[in-house]
Amino acid sequence: MSSQSRPVILITGASSGLGLILAKKLMSLPYHLVLTARDSSLERFKDEGIEENDFLWLRPLDIINEEQRKDLILEINQRLSGVDILVNNAGFTYRAVVEHVSAEERIKQLHTNFIAAMELSRLVLPFMRAKRAGKIINISSVGGMMAMPTMAIYSASKWALEGYSESLWYEVKPWNIKVTLIQPGFINSDSFKLVRHTEQSADSAKEEKDPYHNHYHYMSNFIEKLMRLSPSKPENVAAKVIKVITHPSPPLRVAGTWDAIIFKLIRVFLPQKIYHRILYHSLPGIRKWGPGTK
């Protein structure tokens, strides 16, 4: 089979976590894979035994670098006649309350988790429209449907990803282009270790007298515990992405983990007032947050 006859799948942030597991699963299937990672992370492919061949390209792509985005899509358009399936997976999480995210950090979170995904979609769409086929798969999060304290800017980025994806779903349906959001909840992995503090939230998490100290203390322990207890592994989420890749008509939203289904049901069926009240009172150590009795 020539490389041209294989559907081209572009995956961002493929050098670790979900992206890497997805890439490994897809390597045995008849696709042309374009696996991307930041320059500094490209070495990891070698460590994982992943090497280039006729059907597998490894390319540098920092998704917030406009030039790299354009160069890569141009190369794919010229040499492989366009991307057939775009998986916007790359992302990161800031743990910080609203007061602890600087202007620069806000832009970085929104650029990585939302704007870059939209920009890549804009670049691949003309070829998809010409072919009247294509899929854009955006890895969202339960944080894109229910916001949690200390995750404000992360949630905002994923809600934005959800909003643009939903609009796009309507816009490109006439060309038979499918748009799907995968919404993982808590994944049982070490990825909580990769959650980043902002400059101010790092200080607050260390300083017991800081007014927001307990927000971080309780939330980070709580999230780590939920991730450890989650029955969903990254492999399960990758399997869901592959189901979307192979399905002729995938839905707009797919729950990535079991808890995502439960959160969705709670969100839809509980009256808003009760939902927010229950969630507030379920927050770990909530009585000790802020001016609470310390």
Per annotation, catalytic residue among 94, 154, 212, 216: 154
- Tokens 């994806």 locate to 165
212 catalytic residue (yes or no): no
Dist. CA 152–CA 275, nearest whole Å: 18
Q: Which is nearer to ligand NAP, 117 or 214 (CB)?
A: 117
155 binds ligand NAP (CB under 6 A): no
Q: Which two tokens stand for residue 91?
A: 């992302």
CA 68 centroid distance within chain: 20
Dist. CA 100–CA 83, nearest whole Å: 39
The phi and psi torsions of 180 (rounded to 5 degrees) equal: -135, 140
- Following DSSP, what letter does each residue of 90-127 receive, concatenated? ----EEB-GGG--HHHHHHHHIIIIIHHHHHHHHHHHH
Task: Determine which residue in the list 139, 156, 172, 254 makes contact with ligand NAP, applying CB under 6 A.
Answer: 139
Please answer whether residues 213 and 207 qualify as being in contact, where contact means their C-beta atoms are separated by less than 8 angstroms: yes
Per annotation, catalytic residue among 94, 108, 121, 140: 140
214 binds ligand NAP (CB under 6 A): no
Name the closest residue to ligand NAP (Cβ).
17
222 binds ligand NAP (CB under 6 A): no
Please answer whether residues 155 and 148 qualify as being in contact, where contact means their C-beta atoms are separated by less than 8 angstroms: yes
288 catalytic residue (yes or no): no
Stretches 1-9, 180-188, 245-253, 275-283: which one binds ligand NAP (CB under 6 A)?
180-188
Range 274-279 contact pairs with CB under 8 angstroms and sequence separation of 24 or more: 279/146
Dist. CA 4–CA 56, nearest whole Å: 12
Kindly identify the residues of this chain, within the stretch 96-135, that bind ligand NAP according to CB under 6 A.
112
Q: Give the other-Cβ count within 10 Å of 77's Cβ.
A: 16
Q: Give the other-Cβ count within 10 Å of 262's Cβ.
A: 13
Task: Determine which residue in the list 184, 204, 238, 241 makes contact with ligand NAP, applying CB under 6 A.
Answer: 184
The number of residues that bind ligand NAP (CB under 6 A) is: 27
Dist. CA 145–CA 158, nearest whole Å: 8
Task: Determine which residue in the list 3, 7, 16, 115 makes contact with ligand NAP, applying CB under 6 A.
Answer: 16
- Tokens 């322990």 locate to 221
Per annotation, catalytic residue among 15, 189, 204, 232: 15
Stretches 122-130, 173-181, 189-197, 280-288: which one binds ligand NAP (CB under 6 A)?
189-197
167 catalytic residue (yes or no): no
Per annotation, catalytic residue among 135, 158, 178, 240: 158
CA-to-CA separations, 115 to 14, 46, 47, 152, in angstroms, rounded: 18, 29, 30, 17
216 catalytic residue (yes or no): no
The phi and psi torsions of 270 (rounded to 5 degrees) equal: -80, 135
Q: Which is nearer to ligand NAP, 133 or 148 (CB)?
A: 148
216 binds ligand NAP (CB under 6 A): no
Kindly identify the residues of this chain, within the stretch 27-86, that bind ligand NAP according to CB under 6 A.
37-38, 41, 61-64
Site string for ligand NAP, 244-283 (x = CB under 6 A): ----------------------------------------
Active site residues: 15, 140, 154, 158
Contact positions vs ligand NAP (CB under 6 A): 12-13, 15-19, 37-38, 41, 61-64, 89-92, 112, 139, 141, 184, 186-187, 189, 191, 194
